Amino acid sequence: MEIVKNAVVGLTYELKVSKEEDEIESVPFSVEVRDNEDPFYFIFGFSGLPEKFEELLAGKSQGESFSFTISAQDAYGEPDDEMIMALPKAQFSAEAGFEPEMLEEGNFLPLVDENGYPMQAKVLKDLGEEILLDFNHPLVGFDLHFDGEVFEVREATPEELDHGHVHGDHGHQH
């Protein structure tokens, strides 16, 4: 079966990122490896990943290799200064499930938006009464380099399509 809309896709890959600064491209460095022990599964067309990622995988079949680069513009874009905010440190109390060490610079805070969807913010600086957080995607501004293989392709079940995610061994457990 080929990768088409509504197919369940399992991938193994290595993701490397690089950044261009002052016309010089950095050497790509590895940020994620998904192997046969832990393949990445998603429903094609509903991955939540950059559109270009799915475009470049369309039509591939199980066992087929892939290698492509997605520019920062086609991936997560460039950093948005409006996504950097100072919030009252009191919002991140122990009662709310936060430990003091979680608020250290460089850490990513697991948060939930007003609709209940998980998100994260990077702690940039402790400002005393406030904490400066970056809500940009962690890979914003980076070119993404994927090298991998299509591990599995199958039809999504009606229940998976209804729920919008993969079930079973490599997916969501209800």
* pLDDT at 80 > cutoff 80: yes
> What is the assigned CATH class of domain 81-134?
mainly beta
Taking alpha carbons only, the member of 134, 139, 131 closest to residue 98 is 131
From 126, 128, 124, select the one nearest 84 (Cα to Cα). Answer: 124
Q: Alpha-carbon distance 130 to 144, whole Å?
A: 33
Question: Cβ contacts of residue 151 below 8 Å, gap of 6+?
Answer: 10, 11, 12, 36, 39, 62
pTM of the model: 0.82
Residue 22 pLDDT > 90, yes or no?
no
Q: CATH top-level class for 7-77+140-163? A: alpha beta
Structural contact between residues 143 and 71, judged by C-beta atoms closer than 8 angstroms: yes
- Which regions of the chain carry the CATH code 3.10.50.40? 7-77+140-163
Tell me the residue type at 9. V
Q: What pLDDT digit, counting tens, does each position of 40-51 carry?
A: 999 999 888 899
Residue range(s) of every CATH 2.40.10.330 domain in the chain:
81-134
109-159 tens-digit pLDDT: 999 888 888 889 999 999 999 999 999 999 999 999 999 999 999 999 999
